[in-house]
Amino acid sequence: MTTISFLDAISQALREEMQRDERVFLLGEDIGAFGGAFKVTRGFLEEFGQWRVMDMPIAESGFVGMGCAAAIEGQIPVVEFQFADFIACAFDQIINFAAKVHYRWGMPCPIVFRAPCGGGVRGGPYHSESPEAWFTNVPGLKIVYPSTPYDALGLLKSAIRDPNPVIFFEHKRLYRKIRQEIPDGEILVPLGSADIKRPGHDLTIITYGAMVHDAIEAAETLGQQGYECEVLDLRSLCPLDEQSIYQSIARTHRALVVHEAHLTGGFGGELAARIAAEAFDQLDAPIARVGAADVPIPYSPPLEDAVLPNADKIVAAALRTLEY
């Protein structure tokens, strides 16, 4: 058993897959000599060489296009965006090429897009986005968003082995904050499998990414008031483990959806719609949602705290649902 950080888990997954399969290579800004903006790829250039750890200019659309071309030629590129916000610069390549190439030509496109995302680190409006909902509307993409080192390690390895394009969201706030004991041996977590991070019977809190930890904190607070809340970590948004959602609601009869992305148009709305369609008879209260306010993420710490969801806001929403 070894205790590693969330960041260590990402680095370990990349190293293990590069050692396992010489077709795996990395593209991104400052990932080589500098070791990455967050030091995920520190030492990779020396270990794997410049043709497998390739520094790119500040031209996301260009190097994503390079990666897509390499993928359809049989290579397995892992593209790093320094910040998920700038994935917008490569939107056309991801949406109109990577997501559609298999449908159009029957060709696999095994490419992974690593997207460090999320607020709470005082990064301001250009370095704090949670843009997962932009991509859940696009058939052909897989969307992964882990919350723990174990899941990050196992899901990234599975993403690299998947023949489809995968967007792998990594919340920056978790990189050095979350540590976990990991068993020895290879770890693989299948895409599309949710995980109960805390069992309960009074309310299901459905969430993913960094909000899993806020939800657990909120559930512990609610436990002191006599409520036992289940925290369901989706881990993958596409494919989505709907059965785990409905099974949890069948136990608790109440649902609260939590995500850090802006509330309007966020993935929580899709979750609420599916729950209403498939599990309405199990509900004893309206489906509740918690998300960020519909404004750009501020740089000011007090304003950012006011905009983003947190454990206190989850507790307040949970109590409204529990007392309905």
The answer to whether the CB of 29 falls within 8 A of the CB of 87 is no
Residue 221, pLDDT score:
98
Residues noted as catalytic: 127
**19 phi-psi bin (left φ>0, alpha ψ -120 to 50, beta other):** alpha
pTM over 0.95: yes
Residue 252, pLDDT score:
98
What order do you get walking across the sheet with 229-233 strand by strand?
Answer: 195-198, 229-233, 203-207, 255-262, 288-292
DSSP state for residue 298 in the 8-state scheme: P
What is the spatial distance between Cα 152 and Cα 172, in angstroms, rounded to a whole number? 12
Helix (H, G, I), strand (E, B) or coil at 170: strand
Select from 208, 212, 282 the least CA-distant residue to 238: 208
Q: How many CB atoms lie within 10 A of CB 225?
A: 10
Which residue is it, tokens 């498939």?
A: 278
Establish how many alpha carbons lie within 13 A of residue 15's alpha carbon, considering only the half-sphere containing its beta carbon: 14
For the CA atoms of 288, 293, 294, 296, the dihedral, rounded to the nearest 10 degrees, stands at: -150
What does pLDDT average to in each consecutive run of 10 residues of the chain (324 residues)?
A: 96 98 97 95 96 96 97 97 96 97 96 97 94 97 98 98 98 96 95 98 98 98 97 98 98 98 97 98 98 97 97 98 96
What is the spatial distance between Cα 95 and Cα 135, in angstroms, rounded to a whole number? 8
Residue 1, pLDDT score:
87
Helix (H, G, I), strand (E, B) or coil at 185: coil
